[in-house]
Amino acid sequence: MRILAWTTRGSMFTAGPVWAQTYDPNFPICLQVFGINGNYIACGYTSMAQCAQSASGCAAQCLVNPYFVGANRPPSRTHQRQHRISG
């Protein structure tokens, strides 16, 4: 009986609503919109200028996506320069 009671309690803590991730890691810029019915964040922009066009005239602001996947990539080898010292 104790085992049954323990598993029932455990399932109460795991069941609940599942929320979608706010930030889409595929886009570097997000639009945060403030509204009467609530606020939301929409990440789907590739530049601040593109986001600013959508935010124009609205209660909204553009922000950098902190979860953008490409933000933490190391630079590729073609962009690294090696300097030789001749002497």
Domains in the chain: how many in total? Answer: 1
Taking the C-alpha atoms of residue 37 and residue 76, their distance in angstroms, rounded to an integer, is 45
The answer as to whether 59 is a domain residue is yes
The answer as to whether 42 is a domain residue is yes
pLDDT, one tens digit per residue, over 14-54 is 555 545 568 889 999 999 999 999 999 999 999 999 999 99
Burial, 54: exposed, middle or buried (Cβ in 10 Å; 0-12, 13-18, 19+)?
middle
Stated pTM of the model: 0.58
Mean pLDDT, the chain, integer:
77
The answer as to whether 13 is a domain residue is no
Residue span of the structural domain in which 25 resides: 21-66
Instruction: Kindly compute the dihedral angle of the four CA atoms of residues 41, 67, 18, 60, in this order, to the nearest 10 degrees.
Output: -10
Look at residue 14 in the predicted model and tell me its pLDDT: 53
Taking the C-alpha atoms of residue 63 and residue 5, their distance in angstroms, rounded to an integer, is 48
Closest CA to 71 of 39, 19, 40, 30: 30
The answer as to whether 33 is a domain residue is yes
